[in-house]
C-alpha cells in the first residue's frame, strides 16, 4: 500500500473561479486534500469557455477549454446557486464538515449570501477561510476588482520586463494569479498546523498585489537599498554579468555565469583566459561597471561557435548554459520526460502537467483530471460529499 498523501483527510470547499483560487485548490488536491469545487449551474467556472483550444471527450462531448483543465485537476464539481436560500444551505452543508474554504469574491461580496468570512468564522470556528482578492481586505483599493494583468502593471513587474528601448511587458503566464495561489496554499498549510495546536480556524487575507510585490525579490531590495529605480534590461541581469542571451552561429543560448570561477572557465573555453585577469572584468562588481565593454567582446567570441558544441563545452566545465526551448521542445526534453512532468490523469482526455512536488520519491499529483460540470444543480451523492469517518 502506498503511503497516504500529506493532506489526506482534509476537505476543501472552493468558492473560487478563474485562476488564483483554483490554482490553490489544485495544489491542495495534489497533496491529497478532497477539494469540492462549487460552480454556477449551467455556466460553471469562467475558464470553461476560455478557448480554443477546447477538450473533447471520448464520445465527442465538449469538456471545456484547456485553460480550465490546467487548474482544476483532482477536484469534484457541484453546481450550486449561492444566490438562492437553497443554494446557501447546500454550501453550509458542505462547510459543516470542511476544514478549508477558498473564496475569491470582492470584499463584502458574500455578505448578502450569509457566506462572508466573519459569518463563517462565527458559525464554523475551526474553519480556515482563505479570501483571495486583487488588493486585500483593507486599504484604499480594497473595493476594486483585481486582475492579473492590472496587478502585473501596478506592482512594478512590467516596468522591469522587456527590452530597454521597448514597451513594458507582462509575463507570458498569469504570474500574479499563480504566485497568489501558491502563497495561499502555504498560508492554508500554516493555518492548519496552527489549528492542530489551538483548535481554532483562521481568516487568511491574500491579495494579488501583495503577492506580486513580494516576489520582486532582489529588484525590490536593490531599490530599497539604493533609491535607484531599476530599469528594463531585456534578457540581461541587473546584478550579475555575464548572465544573458547570446547569439551563436546557429541559434541562441542563455549563459548564466554566477561567480568569478565560472567566468574564468568561460574565458578559457572561449580562448581568451587573459580576460579573467583583466582588472576591468576580474570580479562581478567590475564586470557590472564595465558591462558595455565586456558584453560585445564576449558576444563576438560566442558568435563563432555553434550552440550545441558550446553548450557541451560549458557543461563539461560547470558553466551554466541552456537553450531557449519552445513548448514542443520542453515536453520532448529527456529530463522533463524522465521526471514525468507530462502525464495523463485518470479518465482525462488530454495530458496534464504534473505538480513539481516530490516527497519520498512520490510525485504529489492528483490522479484524476478536471471535473465535468454537473448536469443538474444541487448536491449529488459521491465520495467528495460523503460524511467524514
Point out the residues that are catalytic: 177
With residue 67 as reference, give the H or E element that holds it. Answer: helix 66-69
DSSP code of residue 221: H
d(CA 131, CA 107): 9
> Are β-strands 34-39 and 75-79 bridged in parallel, bridged antiparallel, or unpaired?
parallel
Tell me which residue has cell 478549508: 100
d(CA 384, CA 389): 12
Taking every pair of Cα atoms in the chain, the longest distance, rounded to a whole number of angstroms, is 78
> Are β-strands 243-247 and 252-256 bridged in parallel, bridged antiparallel, or unpaired?
antiparallel
**Which residues have CB under 8 Å from 199's CB, separation 6+?**
126
Helix (H, G, I), strand (E, B) or coil at 337: helix
Q: Counting beta carbons within 10 angstroms of the beta carbon of residue 71, is it exposed (0 to 12), middle (13 to 18) or buried (19 or more)?
A: buried
Amino acid at each position: 500500500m502506498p503511503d497516504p498523501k500529506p493532506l489526506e483527510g482534509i476537505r476543501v470547499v472552493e468558492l473560487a473561479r478563474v485562476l488564483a483560487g483554483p490554482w490553490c485548490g489544485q495544489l491542495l488536491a495534489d497533496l491529497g486534500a478532497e477539494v469540492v469545487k462549487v460552480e454556477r449551474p449551467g455556466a460553471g467556472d469562467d475558464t470553461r469557455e476560455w478557448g480554443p483550444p477546447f477538450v473533447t471527450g471520448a464520445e465527442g462531448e465538449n469538456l471545456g477549454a484547456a485553460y480550465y483543465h490546467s487548474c482544476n485537476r483532482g477536484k469534484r464539481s457541484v453546481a450550486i446557486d449561492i444566490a438562492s436560500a437553497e443554494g446557501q444551505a447546500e454550501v453550509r452543508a458542505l462547510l459543516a464538515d470542511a476544514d478549508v474554504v477558498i473564496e475569491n469574491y470582492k470584499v463584502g461580496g458574500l455578505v448578502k449570501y450569509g457566506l462572508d468570512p466573519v459569518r463563517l468564522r462565527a458559525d464554523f470556528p475551526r474553519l480556515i477561510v482563505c479570501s483571495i482578492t486583487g488588493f486585500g481586505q483593507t486599504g484604499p483599493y480594497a473595493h476594486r476588482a483585481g486582475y492579473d494583468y492590472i496587478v502585473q502593471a501596478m506592482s512594478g513587474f512590467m516596468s522591469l520586463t522587456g527590452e530597454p528601448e521597448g514597451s513594458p511587458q507582462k509575463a507570458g503566464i498569469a504570474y500574479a494569479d499563480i504566485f497568489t495561489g501558491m502563497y495561499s496554499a502555504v498560508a492554508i498549510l500554516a493555518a492548519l498546523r496552527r489549528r492542530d495546536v489551538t483548535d481554532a480556524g483562521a481568516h487568511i487575507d491574500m491579495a494579488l498585489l501583495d503577492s506580486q510585490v513580494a516576489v520582486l525579490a532582489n529588484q525590490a531590495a536593490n531599490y530599497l537599498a539604493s533609491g535607484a529605480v531599476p530599469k528594463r534590461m531585456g534578457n540581461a541581469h541587473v546584478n550579475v554579468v555575464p548572465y544573458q542571451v547570446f547569439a551563436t552561429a546557429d541559434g541562441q543560448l542563455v549563459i548564466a555565469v554566477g561567480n568569478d570561477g565560472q567566468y574564468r572557465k568561460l574565458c578559457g573555453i572561449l580562448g581568451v583566459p587573459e580576460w579573467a585577469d583583466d582588472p576591468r572584468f576580474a570580479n562581478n562588481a567590475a564586470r557590472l561597471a564595465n558591462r558595455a565593454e565586456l558584453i560585445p567582446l564576449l558576444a563576438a567570441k560566442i558568435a563563432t561557435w555553434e550552440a550545441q558544441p558550446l553548450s557541451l563545452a560549458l557543461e563539461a566545465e560547470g558553466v551554466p548554459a541552456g537553450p531557449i526551448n519552445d513548448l514542443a521542445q520542453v515536453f520532448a526534453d529527456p529530463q522533463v520526460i524522465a521526471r514525468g512532468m507530462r502525464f495523463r490523469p485518470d479518465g482525462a482526455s488530454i495530458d496534464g502537467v504534473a505538480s513539481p512536488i516530490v516527497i519520498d520519491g512520490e510525485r504529489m499529483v492528483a490522479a484524476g483530471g478536471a471535473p465535468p460540470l454537473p448536469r443538474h444543480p444541487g448536491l449529488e451523492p459521491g465520495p467528495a460529499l460523503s460524511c467524514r469517518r
